[in-house]
Structure 1
Amino acid sequence: MTDQITALSARALAEAIRTRRLSSEEVVAAHLARIDELNPAINAIVAFQPEVALETARERDRELARGVIRGPMHGLPIAVKDLMDVAGLPTSHGSRIYAGRVAADDSVIASRLREAGVVFVGKTNTPEFGAGSHTFNEVFGPTRNPYDITRSAGGSSGGAAAAVTTGMLPFADGSDLGGSIRNPASFGNLVGLRPTAGRVASARPGNAWDPGSVLGALTRDVADTALFLSVISGPERRAPLSIDEDPDLFLSLAPRSFRGARIAYSPDLGGLPLDPEVREATAAAARLASDLGAEVVEVDIDLTEADLVFETFRSLEFLDAHGEDAALHPDLVKQTVRDDVSWADGIDARLLNRAAGARTRLFRRFQSLLAEYDMLLGPTTQVLPFPIEWEYPTEIEGVAMERYYTWQRSCSRITATAMPAVSMPMTFSRGGLPIGVQFVGPYRGDRLLLEFALTWESAVGDVMARRPAV
């Protein structure tokens, strides 16, 4: 019964609870049993609180018996990424500095999830301060890829992805700066949406005008992504970029046909080195889009300034968020975070001005491209899931990676454009590892992107149904 419950979509579970075919206690208990069974090997869930979760589930059932339905996620279990506060749970940020620090209040995303009726079962693992796309830290250790536990689950939402792909959770939140939703989605055979900046508001400290870091979702199907987005999106007075649109617009998605659509295809997003199997999978995705009826046109996109944009504003974000910790506790902060902070020291007014102008040019260039085409198709990741012992890939196709996140440029270059993007499953490597592809839509075109993704999902249903045999 546990496996049957945990294999259901979030929507099916919510409906079963609402109609009392299943109780919240049964649903939560099944997922807790799945965590007990698999988490020792995978290490996706941290700050686990099974007894509190079961009592909350019983309360959700009592509420339902009184005719009270909190929202569309009433009674569903979730664990929130360990960078976001959930009142009463520790927010460790994967850092020894903050290990065990219990949050007094909910973050915006946790508050919206709570209002929707979820049951918090714990947190999901993340690298220290969310730095890098490989989930490991000295507080909780590494998160392993469920398709091969000797490999990385990606990051920084690696714990979230591993928990969802194994059925420890029906869905999960994530955050994405340089690919932290999209990379683990590709590594985990999941749907991973990086929404338009402001679609999901945040009141975290720092530069609220920067569109780089966003919040989104990791799910096993597109409709669950839409459900998740309908709950966590919406305006927030403390978030100046927040989008004032009705979140329910994501509840009426319909598959959008590829027939007649025009898709720009970039096999390597500006000449990036790719693992040969990733290159093959991306080419196969272009052929599949054509088979579905789209006009697929290979384009040569000018992304020469994207790395400047991403690296400049990323370093400034890390200086703001972690500069003090790195200065006060250098022995407790990993080298790559200290590097990011130190790179900000080399940013002067002229460089910042160049990067700001480049960001504007990139935005307008992509808006022009996506006025001519419905979407851009390219690789999500440049590599297959790599050995768990690596901190990050240091070379691809003989090309050295300059920084710890250089191997993520297939994602970070899209971040620099401010466009929404979704990673969708495509195929498996010859060694049985998932490979995703990335669709990029126009600014604020999140709904359009998900409607195309619904059609793609039907075309790769056999791939998406292939869950890990853990």
Structure 2
Amino acid sequence: MQTTFRSATDLVRDMRAGSLTAEALMEATLDRIDAVNGQVNAIVSMAGRQDLIDQARAADRAGLTGPLAGLPIAIKDLANAAGFETSQGSPVFAGQIAAKDDIMTARIRQAGAIVIGKTNVPEFGLGSHTFNPVHGATRNPYDPARSCGGSSGGAAVALATGMLAIADGSDMMGSLRNPAAWNNVYGFRPSWGRVPSEAIGDNFLHQLSTLGPMARSPGDVALLLDAISGPDPRQPHGMAVSPTAPLDAAALKGRRIGWLGDWGGALDYEPGILDLCRRALDQMADAGAIVEDLAPPFALDRIWDSWITLRSWSVAGGLAPLAGRRADLKDSAIWELDRGLALSAMEVHRASVIRSDWFTRAAALFDSYDAVILPSAQVWPFPVDEPFKARINDREMDTYHRWMEVVVPASLLGLPALSVPVGFGAEGLPMGMQIIGRRGADADILALGAAWHEMTDWPGRRPALG
């Protein structure tokens, strides 16, 4: 197998054993990037080749002992990595070099990984389609005329094309799950509070977005998850965690799986998506899982109303300092900013009450099921030159992000959700489904994903690039 398509777990093992050097891995990684990145534009703001080789050589001399020792990684361009540009895909921040690492980046470096650059994002991370006026669009490696999803689109493409073995991402509204599904890899939204973000501004109220890992296997997802997990003393909602790696696959026999499908008709899907997920559920049932169709556990329109209120409130809080630079903001950022600034305290309170009611109902659901499953996306990757999906079948979308409503039930509650690949549609494009668990059940969900991976290994079907 080509070196850069090998698992992160195996690469670290071989580097520790001395049968592979960090320098050799870095050379292979940079060669792979040279071969394919120009076709997909996934990794941006790269460090110089000789500097990276020198860093890898120094790591070899120092001894490779950390859990990520010697692994090249590119950091999502919403997070800071010292010495690299953090553009957030916006002209407002283009060219600004980070003076220090964010918490997550620092933990990744402390675990021994070598930062080589950044992965591309939508402007400000808004919208599940990776394009921006600073670095351009990232293309789907299975069809470069299509979107790769987002906002962790660059990360997902780098994994699918063998440019990276592990990648970090973030997820407010499916940003780890949608691009994982569209690029035939795994993306894990951890329980909210497991992975700390920066202790900047408000650290109490907003509980929507989280950082998380991506990889070509759940075992490698667990490897990176452990490196970035654990409480930070500056933040009030940190979660005590236990290691998830090395990850053992769960036995599917007897596991109770609930299928939410189209949520009683409330969710529209393009043709073929539900059928593909159904076939995956049949495979789980053949392996001994007990798969049951579920009636809608909560009114989806109430979940959506709560979501768009709390999301706009949160996004506007982050964008408020840029309110005087509207000409520099894309339409979706202005939409979120205006909605958020117009909200009253009682509107936010009512949205939070709905979230609380949904959390209570979901907790009861997980008393009966080990996991619930939904597709990871409602549409197939669309043309790369479209800003967002404007309609699903005959239904026109009323916001720039309504076409991703399927990810909101888990996001609103901060539940662990693993997007697993489930195969390809009629046009050869990938799709995935979400395995969702009770808050705190991260290890259990990853173990279910590992069982699925052993049965299928969909990421082994690679894009024809390079």
Scaled by the length of structure 1, the TM-score of the pair is: 0.96
Q: Distance in 2 between matches of 1:117 and 1:317?
A: 33
Confirm or deny that 1:6 pairs with 2:4: yes
Say whether residues 1:262 and 2:256 are aligned partners: yes
1:349 and 2:345 equivalent?
A: yes
* % identity of equivalent residues: 38
Quick one: which amino acid aligns to residue 17 of structure 2?
Answer: T
Aligned match for 2:388, one of 385, 392, 395: 392
Question: Does 1:39 pair with 2:37?
Answer: yes
Contact 1:206 1:320 in 2 (8 A): no
Quote the Cα distance in structure 2 between the aligned partners of 1:299 and 1:397. 24
1:48-447 map, 5 Å:
48-49=46-47, 50-64=49-63, 69-209=64-204, 210-246=206-242, 249-269=243-263, 271-301=266-296, 302=298, 303-325=300-322, 327-447=323-443
8 Å CA contact 1:194–1:216 kept in 2: the answer is yes
CA shift in 2, pair 1:380/1:229, >3 Å: same
Paired residue type of 1:321: G
Provide, for residues 413-441 of structure 1, a one-character-per-residue CA deviation record: whole Å limited to 9, x for no partner. Answer: 32112211000011101111001111100
Query: Equivalents in 2 of 1:380, 1:204: separation in Å?
Result: 30
Where structure 1 has 5 or more consecutive residues not aligned to the other structure, the ranges are none
**C-alpha displacement at 1:245, in angstroms?**
2.1
Change (3 A) 1:331 1:424: same
Give the drift of 1:70: 4.7
Aligned residues: 460
Distance 2:429 2:201 in 1: 37
Match in the other structure for 1:458: 454
Check whether the contact 1:94–1:137 (CA below 8 A) recurs between aligned residues. Answer: yes
Once residues 268 and 464 of structure 1 are traced to their aligned partners in structure 2, the CA distance between those partners, rounded to angstroms, is 26
In structure 2, C-alpha distance between the alignment counterparts of 1:162 and 1:396, rounded to whole Å: 24
**Which amino acid in structure 2 is aligned with residue 339 of structure 1?**
W
Aligned-partner residue type, residue 18 of structure 2: R
Q: State the shift of 1:296 in Å.
A: 1.2
Distance 1:122 1:252, change over 3 A: closer
Q: Partners in 1 of 2:72 and 2:281 — Cα distance?
A: 37
**Quick check: 17-26 or 285-294, which moved more?**
285-294
Letter in 1 for 2:436: V
Q: Is the 8 A contact 1:81 1:126 kept in 2?
A: yes
2:23 matched to 1:25? yes
Deviation of 1:357 (Å): 0.4
Supply the distance in 2 between the matched residues of 1:304 and 1:224 (Cα, whole angstroms): 36
CA contact (8 A) 1:306 1:417 kept: no
The amino acid that maps onto 2:331 is Q
Deviation string, structure 1 residues 58-94 (Cα, Å, up to 9, x no partner): 1101102xxxx35111111000000101111111111
- Report the Cα distance in structure 1 between the residues aligned to 2:207 and 2:341, rounded to whole angstroms: 22
In 2: Cα distance, 1:354 partner to 1:242 partner: 25
Shift of the alpha carbon at 1:21?
Answer: 1.1
Q: Conserved in 1, the CA contact under 8 Å of 2:219 and 2:246? A: no
Read off the aligned partner of 1:145 and give its amino acid letter. N
Which residue identity lines up with residue 81 of structure 1 in the other structure?
A: K
Q: C-alpha separation between the residues in 2 aligned to 1:384 and 1:294?
A: 28
Tell me the C-alpha RMSD between the 2 structures: 1.3
- Please state how far the C-alpha of 1:204 moved relative to its aligned partner: 4.5
**SS of equivalent residue, structure 2 residue 413:** coil
The structure-2 alpha-carbon separation of the partners of 1:409 and 1:204, relative to structure 1 and needing over 3 Å to count, comes to: farther
The CA distance in 1 between the partners of 2:154 and 2:9, in whole Å, is 22
In 1, Cα distance between equivalents of 2:199 and 2:143: 35
Distance 1:269 1:443 in 2: 21
Alpha-carbon distance between aligned partners in 1 of 2:346 and 2:20, rounded to the nearest angstrom: 61
Give CA deviations for 1:92-133 in whole Å, capped at 9, x if unaligned.
111101001011111000000010111111000001110010
- SS in structure 2 of the partner of residue 121 of structure 1: strand
TM-aligned CA distance change 1:173 to 1:434, over 3 Å: same
Distance 1:76 1:253 in 2: 19
Q: 2:318 corresponds to which letter in structure 1?
A: A
Give CA-to-partner distance per residue, 1:228-281, whole Å, 9 cap, x none: 1110101111222211224xx212432111211111111113521001111211
